[in-house]
Each structure stands twice: as C-alpha cells, then as structure tokens.
Amino acid sequence: MEVEEILSFPRVREIMKNGGTIMVIGDTNAGKTTLCQFLIRMASVERKGFLDLDLGQSTYLPGTLNAYYIWKDK
C-alpha cells in the first residue's frame, strides 16, 4: 500500500489532525518504521509518541522495544 493511499483514509487524516493511535503491522523489512516516521513528521498534533515493538528485528538485537516522545515548544 502506498503512502498516498494510507493518507486517503478519513480516519487516518482525522488522527493526523486531532491525535489518536495508529497501529502499523506488516512483513519484515516492509517499511513499517519508515511509514511511522513519515506519519510522525506529518502529524499536526503538538505531542506525538512512537512505540516500536519489533520481535523479529533483523538489524539490532531480537525483540527490541523503542519509545519516542516528540513535542513542539510553543
């Protein structure tokens, strides 16, 4: 699925504007983290979080968990 198609879903657009939760699931090396990073950059909410739970991580230690919290200063 292309990014443009994902952004065309009304619920995704609503979450990107007002906040909420999006879960991204897919095959190994399918671009899930890249998609999440794009969505975080595009979201207009002031505070954003990203939880990366990757049980099949092929690059780092297996079973990695990363959490990011991003906010805009006013």
Average pLDDT of span 64-74: 75
pLDDT tens, position by position, 2-52: 777 887 888 888 888 888 888 888 887 888 888 888 888 888 778 888 888
pLDDT at 34: 87
Residue 65 has pLDDT above 80, yes or no: no
pLDDT at 39: 87
pLDDT at 13: 84
Distance between CA 28 and CA 70 in Å, rounded? 26
Distance between CA 16 and CA 56 in Å, rounded? 28
DSSP string, 4-70: HHHHTSHHHHHHHHH--------STTSSHHHHHHHHHHH--SSEEEEEEEETT-SSSSSSEEEEEEE
List the domain boundaries for the chain: 3-71
How much is the pTM? Answer: 0.69
